[in-house]
Amino acid sequence: MFDRYKIQIEEQINPILKQEGLENSTLQWSLIPFSGHWGISTSFFQIAAQETRSGKKGNVAHRAAELAEMIASKLDIGTEFEKCEAVKGYLNIYFASKSFSQMVVEKVLEEKQLYGSHPPIDETVMVEFSQPNTHKAFHVGHLRNIVLGASVSNILEFNGNTVIRANYLGDIGLHVITWLWNYENFHEGETPPAENAISWIGELYAEAVKRREESEENEEAIRRYFQAWDNHDPEIIALWKETRQWSLDAFERLYEILGIHFDRLYFESEVEHVGKAFVEELIEKGLAKDERPGGAVIIDLDALLGTKEEYRVLVLLRSDGTSLYATKDIPLAVKKFEEYKLDRSIYVVDVRQSLYLKQIFKVLELLGYEWAKQCQHLAYEIVNLPGNVTLASREGTVVLLEDLIREAEKRAMEIVDKKNPELGLEDKQQIARMIALGSIKYSLLSRDNTKIVTFDWETALDVNGQAAPYIQYAAVRANSILRKVQYQIPSGWSNPSDLEEKEIVLVDLISRFPQEVEKAGRDLKPLVIANYAYDLAKAFNDFYTHCPVLSAKDEVRTFRLRLVAATKQTIINSLGLLGIQVPEIM
RNA sequence: GCCCUCGUAGCGCAAUUGGACAGCGCAUCGGACUUCUAAUCCGGCGGUUGUGAGUUCGAGUCUCACCGGGGGCGCCA
């Protein structure tokens, strides 16, 4: 937003530096980091250090301060800036807040839900996330993946990318066979309950695994069942199709609740066959080694690349010829790039699979696909239970997603009910859901991807402090002011007398949104937005308690109303990137 | 053995990618509701950024070593 001013100033600074014998020095601009000070800033340490390195004697810090002071005294800041000053080697140039704040607010109100976004760029990127297994439960560990993938997709889209949201479903394999076998023998004819389909399916899975592990006989039976499947037994296939659909329908309902949609669903079953052909190709090219029947089909990446204990060995096919994850991930990657003309392919997968994905990308490269370098693993840490207990569906140490959402809604409902007794039940429920989902999502997104999240009910359901309800509430407060004027936001520029510090802080933050979006997109970190949204809400709450809006006079009132509307919009936009909705009332 | 990752206040986390006084939330102590919603605001307490060296004008951030937690490393997904 301020680039052209930076350029203007630089055009003045460069000749001054030239006089000092300093050329080709590029300045790095940032916003003044102090709360309540609004403007741009740069420093002269690099230039001074460069000078010292080229032989000139002197103290760098001293020289930087000298340069900053000299430039500050010579600079013509025009009417766009209030003042400029040199502080310890930094040059701070303060905006003329009155006109700049008008400009910022104006921009937000004009661009509305697009404020903060960047113009389209010619780049198509696929984000693969969620990747649930059919015939299994959904737990909070899976949620981190979904929420992260969805948010990163939103952020990339806001940055101008064309985003394809892809899901990759594990609909075949031993876990499915085990489930089917158990169902056919012990639950035939049963159907999942409408409400708790996922937990029902999950319970049956846990039961199936237990049966498999408790007797050799069962294990043997399951193995035979697997063979029958491999031989395309029509009855088993029919059962598979039917039960798979139960999972898919249940997933779809859950995604709907979470507000997630996918543009493309990939299934393991659709890439297994072609995957085996790829393995053959790798063997023929002399890249993979077929050690069957004694061993598996492997690719010794370290031997091929001349590296040592870096890429290790990847197993492509079991010794019995059945497929593994690697068998399927290779053709899947190819399919993705063929179907869409991708510029980038992002895999949202937990950090434990870092080596595995590194191997897959390298194999693709060895196969000659130039786009292999555009595959990127977005790793995130797992969600644990207190005491470093891993969530595992077979151990029974899971917190089911449905339970979490239900409990969060219940708690949110209690507060909504108390605060808004006049509302109808349906409205209350809708609000409670937004708050519940917001809290859950925010608690997962406001943590760096590299940090393990320890799940406990209290923290997950805490709505105090830095949490989504705080931010939502700020927007609701803004909304409630706007409602009082029937959402008639006065147009045109107003010219209030000097701005309050609270107002400047708020406008400053609003103006930073586009660059926060950019940063979040660059680093694939929703955390950046999560922090930003909180800071913005905090600044607004501060403003709210100190600066009356409706009772203010004339131009102050006009400006503040516009500022309130701009804040509400920016909060909505930033939370939107996190997949969090904002209610009108709460 | 090799590799990845984390270590910041009692607890949970940030820190504009190497910049200005290391911020915020819980918790705790104390203030503020006849005024636009108190799911709010203001103030107090709390720090040798795991340890030691190095690079740099400048290090929580980069390099190396060490300590401690977690993870990965040929037929699990």
pLDDT, one tens digit per residue, over A313-329 is 999 999 988 899 999 99
Asked if A124-267+338-390 and A401-577 have one fold, the answer is no
Nucleotide nearest to A349 (CA to C1'): B77
Least-confidence region, from A405-409, A491-495, A501-505: A491-495
CB A22 within 7 Å, strand B: no
d(CA A307, C1' B12) / Å? 41
Per-residue model confidence (pLDDT) at position A458: 81
Per-residue model confidence (pLDDT) at position A388: 77
d(CA A312, C1' B76) / Å? 17
A165 membership: H or E segment, kind and range: strand A162-169
| A390 or A185, greater pLDDT | A185
Confidence grade of residue A394 (pLDDT, cut at 50, 70, 90):
low
Segment A112-135 mean pLDDT = 96
Cα–Cα dist A226/A220, whole Å: 10
Per-residue model confidence (pLDDT) at position A20: 81
A346 membership: H or E segment, kind and range: strand A344-350
> Which DSSP symbol is given to A300?
E
d(CA A255, C1' B23) / Å? 36
Query: What is the domain partition of chain A in residue ranges?
Result: 3-95, 124-267+338-390, 401-577
Cα–Cα dist A566/A559, whole Å: 10
**Is the separation of the CB atoms in A315 and A298 below 8 Å?**
yes
Per-residue model confidence (pLDDT) at position A56: 77
Chain A 42-61 residues whose Cβ is under 7 Å from strand B? 43, 45-46, 49, 52-53, 60-61
Give a three-class secondary structure readout of A58-123.
CCHHHHHHHHHHHHHHHCCCCCCEEEEEEECCEEEEEECHHHHHHHHHHHHHHHHHHCCCCCCCCC
What single letter denotes the amino acid at residue A318? R
A395, pLDDT greater than 70: no
CATH number belonging to the domain at A401-577, selected among 1.10.730.10, 3.40.50.150, 3.40.190.10, 3.40.50.12780? 1.10.730.10
Q: Which of A115, A105, A95, A119 is nearest to A38 (CA)?
A: A95
CA closest to B21 C1', residue: A34
Per-residue model confidence (pLDDT) at position A227: 87
d(CA A68, C1' B52) / Å? 37
Cα–Cα dist A278/A333, whole Å: 12
Segment A59-88 mean pLDDT = 90
Segment A410-439 mean pLDDT = 94
Q: Which of A99, A97, A107 is nearest to A505 (CA)?
A: A97
CB A525 within 7 Å, strand B: yes
pLDDT, one tens digit per residue, over A156-212 is 999 999 999 999 999 999 899 999 999 999 999 999 998 888 889 998 998 998 899
A496, pLDDT greater than 70: no
Q: What percent of chain A has pLDDT over 90?
A: 74
Per-residue model confidence (pLDDT) at position A24: 63
pLDDT, one tens digit per residue, over A222-274 is 989 988 988 899 999 999 999 999 999 999 999 999 999 999 999 999 999 99
ipTM at complex level: 0.95
Ordered alpha helix ranges (H), A340-400: 354-366
CA closest to B57 C1', residue: A60
Nucleotide nearest to A310 (CA to C1'): B3
Record: fold of A3-95: Gyrase A; domain 2 (3.30.1360)
d(CA A148, C1' B24) / Å? 22
Nucleotide nearest to A318 (CA to C1'): B75
Alpha-carbon separation of residue A393 from A112, A298, A421 (angstroms): 44, 30, 40
CA closest to B16 C1', residue: A30
Segment A376-381 mean pLDDT = 96
**Is the separation of the CB atoms in A530 and A442 below 8 Å?**
yes
Q: Which of A257, A221, A225, A220 is nearest to A239 (CA)?
A: A225
Rg (CA), chain A: 29
Cα–Cα dist A182/A176, whole Å: 10
Segment A487-501 mean pLDDT = 81
A415, pLDDT greater than 80: yes
Say how many C-beta atoms besides its own lie within 10 A of residue A54's C-beta.
9
CB A388 within 7 Å, strand B: yes
Nucleotide nearest to A37 (CA to C1'): B20
Chain A 260-319 residues whose Cβ is under 7 Å from strand B? 291, 294-296, 298, 300, 308-310, 312-313, 315, 318-319
Segment A435-441 mean pLDDT = 94
What single letter denotes the amino acid at residue A317? L
Chain A 208-227 residues whose Cβ is under 7 Å from strand B? none
A1, pLDDT greater than 80: no
**Is the separation of the CB atoms in A406 and A428 below 8 Å?**
no
Cα–Cα dist A494/A560, whole Å: 10
Per-residue model confidence (pLDDT) at position A495: 67
- Residue A332 CB partners (closer than 8 Å, separation 6+): A168, A266, A271
**Residue A116: φ, ψ to 5°:** 100, -20
A312, pLDDT greater than 90: yes
Bases of chain B within 7 A of a CB of the protein: 1-6, 12-17, 19-21, 24-27, 35-42, 56-58, 69-77
| A521 or A98, greater pLDDT | A521
Chain A 392-451 residues whose Cβ is under 7 Å from strand B? 412, 415-416, 419-420, 431, 435, 446-448, 450-451
A427, pLDDT greater than 70: yes
pLDDT, one tens digit per residue, over A326-375 is 999 999 999 999 999 999 999 999 999 999 999 999 999 999 999 999 99
Per-residue model confidence (pLDDT) at position A213: 86
Nucleotide nearest to A564 (CA to C1'): B36
**Hey, what's the torsion of the CAs at A341, A252, A158, A382, to 10 degrees?**
-100
Cα–Cα dist A478/A473, whole Å: 9
| A564 or A27, greater pLDDT | A564
Q: What percent of chain A has pLDDT over 70?
A: 98
Say how many C-beta atoms besides its own lie within 10 A of residue A465's C-beta.
8
CB A37 within 7 Å, strand B: no
Nucleotide nearest to A325 (CA to C1'): B77
Nucleotide nearest to A546 (CA to C1'): B41
Ordered alpha helix ranges (H), A391-525: 401-419, 425-445, 457-461, 468-484, 501-523
CB A550 within 7 Å, strand B: yes
Ordered alpha helix ranges (H), A340-424: 354-366, 401-419
Nucleotide nearest to A458 (CA to C1'): B26
- Token pair, residue A238, equals 């029919």
- List, in sequence order, every residue forming a beta bridge with A86; answer none if it has no partner: A91
Segment A15-38 mean pLDDT = 82
Span A124-267+338-390: which CATH code? 3.40.50.620
* Mean pLDDT taken over chain A: 92
d(CA A224, C1' B13) / Å? 51
What single letter denotes the amino acid at residue A549? V
d(CA A563, C1' B37) / Å? 19
Per-residue model confidence (pLDDT) at position A396: 63
